[in-house]
Structure 1
């Protein structure tokens, strides 16, 4: 089907209303809530985001908002909105942070998601999809109406795929620093099978890695901890690759994961918007981000909230 990399989708869900984009200036994160109208639970085998105006889409995240969620509870449905435009104070504060599961992350260069016959992503009956879109301007006004294509599993899979992330939003990159390091760590509370990685930074990002951290305690003659590399890659903002393990990796609950990002805020970086600026976390391209997305497979009975409750062995 035209425009899609995956086979013909079983269902295409498009943002109901186009987002009008100005020729210049900053654009706040834009949201659009799309009801699925699913009368029964669905398992997604493949998914692909298709931007309407690819040149202006910095990235997009499609979230699964189950019917019992209170995230963006008072926000309008089927029309574009921004957090600052919401009338409810709780909706404004919580717009950018949610425990809703991620269906798919799109960034320039990223690939569609496709899982084995034994794995799929879960969309509960009655859920909405929430498109969170980050747009940039390029001197030309336009409009975007992004879609997501879904191919459903023919049966209930053995494992459910969850998208997790290691994030550090508290950093300050000094002006002119050519190799600034930012780190994030997290511990898997339960067993999981590691499937893939998707690093996300902005224009100063140059390298990203994922590691397993093994602590040795006070063992004589050994370092406090040892690092096992999982992925080490050069990073380019305009070609944000996702990386799938050739063989999925089983990780025991209690495994400590580390993500490390490097940034070049010097004049030697040709993409640097301003090497004289001290740079913090922010939404706009001239700001920076440090997010290490990664997919894991868990038993179908576990949702994201229950996965983060440590079970007793």
Structure 2
């Protein structure tokens, strides 16, 4: 239900008061004591009191001359009117029940020149069935899925080439953006943008779920181009741990991933991802020091801590981007509730590991960084000989080395 006018909003005044007083709306799950975020929609104490007083007074209309002008929305989009809309050439048919394997569709951009993307958004046609969409940028010189059909949906099992079947679940291609329940469009600082080389394709990885009704989906991607050449390129990286098993009934199971940045980068924000047993997620910097005996140890600097909500998989954009030197060690930690106390748990009697379906679990800590425009994702992971974890530190897995998502 949109709240675009007084007439639409007034009948819900009591519900609005209750939601803002309980701080369930606007949705925001970050610990307010850790970090400041540019997209934090939280209301101040004074704003909450104003809404409560308005509801208590029977929600009066106020003076019409003080009303804000009607907001113009680009049709269906949360971003300004896109410069280009790229849609799946062919719709994906969806059954009423059962599991749907990851579905891919290659969408040519037909860009004759390089493009810098300031804003982007995924718009599913059948939103209720889309668990996630990951949009990859496949440059013209990439061999990834080169034998796959273009413009028609396919799954890994339907590919005739054995290498393509294996490669469908792994790629080092850059991510344009990620869509998940409750996520918002990507919008980058004025001096930064995502890069799409001329002649690239977009590869849409779609995870569909069924809900008792058959249908079809034809997802679109809207792009707003930068109005000037940016000074920084945005890369989406991730910390992932796919080797875990959550015991049945465990209400606070911990999973960790670490990685060191191979090059300097400016940290822009985060997007944690788990499934229905997800409980909490945090990002930290590990600072290595020496204790009184000279042995290496570390201190943790928290960057973000969220109470995870599967239906609100939000991004958290730093209010002040953080420059990080090569060799900085990042840590992501996830906690899971596999007990009967979790109302979203599909089966608390089952041990749960990594898997693509919603009843399985995942641990993915996406994060965005800005780097020089001359540096692509492959070059970013070329580690200078002088960089690496501090002497005595345990070896760690490299950030973003396993771009899996569900």
Superposed pair shares fold, TM > 0.5: yes
Q: Kindly state the Cα deviation for residue 52 of structure 1 after the two structures are TM-superposed.
A: 0.8
Work out which of the residue numbers 170, 177, 181 in structure 1 matches 2:250: 177
Unaligned runs of 5+ in 2: 1-73, 387-406
Give the TM-score normalised by the residue count of structure 1. 0.98
Q: Which residue of 1 aligns with 2:315?
A: 242
Whether 2:304 is the aligned partner of 1:258: answer: no
Render the CA deviation track for 1:177-222: whole Å, top value 9, x for unaligned.
Answer: 0000000111101110000100010000010000001122455388
Partner of 1:202: 275
Aligned to 1:293: 366
Aligned partners of 1:173, 1:10: CA distance in 2, in Å? 45
User: 1:312: how far off?
Assistant: 6.0
1:88-136 CA deviation, whole Å, 9 max, x = no partner? 0000011011000000000011111111221000000000000000000
1:21 aligned partner: 94
Specify the alignment match of 2:16 in structure 1.
none
Cα shift at 1:225: 1.0
Between the aligned partners of 1:175 and 1:304, the Cα distance in structure 2 is 39
Q: Which residue of 1 aligns with 2:169?
A: 96
Cα distance between partner residues in 1 of 2:340 and 2:200: 47
Partner Cα distance (2:230, 2:265) in 1: 15
Q: Distance in 1 between matches of 2:228 and 2:189?
A: 12
Between stretches 33-42 and 219-228, larger displacement belongs to 219-228
Higher-helix-fraction structure: 2
Shift in CA distance, 219/189, structure 1 to aligned 2, threshold 3 Å: farther
Aligned CA RMSD, in angstroms, stands at 1.2
How many angstroms does 1:310 deviate by?
2.0
- Whose Rg is larger? 2
The offset of 1:73, in angstroms, is 1.1
Q: Deviations over 1:248-291 (max 9, x none)?
A: 00000000000000000000000001000000100000000000
Whether 1:87 and 2:163 are equivalent positions in the alignment is no
SS in 1 for 2:204: strand
Deviations 1:207-245 (A, max 9, x none): 000000112245538871110000000001111111000
Pair 249,23 (structure 1): closer, same or farther in 2 beyond 3 Å = same
How far, CA to CA, are the matches of 2:336 and 2:385 in structure 1? 40
Q: Does 1:282 align with 2:318?
A: no
Q: Return closer, same or farther for 1:79/1:179 CA change in 2, 3 Å cut-off.
A: same
> 2:117 corresponds to which residue?
44
Distance 1:223 1:264, change over 3 A: farther
Q: What's the CA shift for 1:156?
A: 1.6
Structural mapping, 1:92-171, within 5 Å: 92-171=165-244
Equivalent of residue 224 in structure 1, options 282, 290, 297? 297
**Equivalent-residue separation in structure 1 for 2:157 and 2:215 (angstroms):** 22
Choose the corresponding residue for 2:147, options 74, 80, 84. Answer: 74
2:103 equivalent in structure 1: 30
Aligned to 2:403: none
Match of 1:310, SS state, is coil
Gaps spanning 5+ residues in structure 1: where?
Answer: none
Whole-angstrom distance in 2 between the partners of 1:25 and 1:120 = 39
Secondary structure of the equivalent of 1:105? strand
CA distance in 2: counterparts of 1:220 and 1:239, whole angstroms:
46
Q: Which secondary structure does the structure 2 equivalent of 1:92 belong to?
A: helix
Alpha-carbon distance in 2 for matches of 1:38, 1:311: 34
| Structure with greater strand share of residues | 1
Cα distance in 1 between the residues matched to 2:152 and 2:166: 20
What is the total number of aligned residue pairs between the two structures? 313
| Paired residue secondary structure (1:224) | strand
Aligned-partner Cα distance in 2 for 1:276–1:293: 29
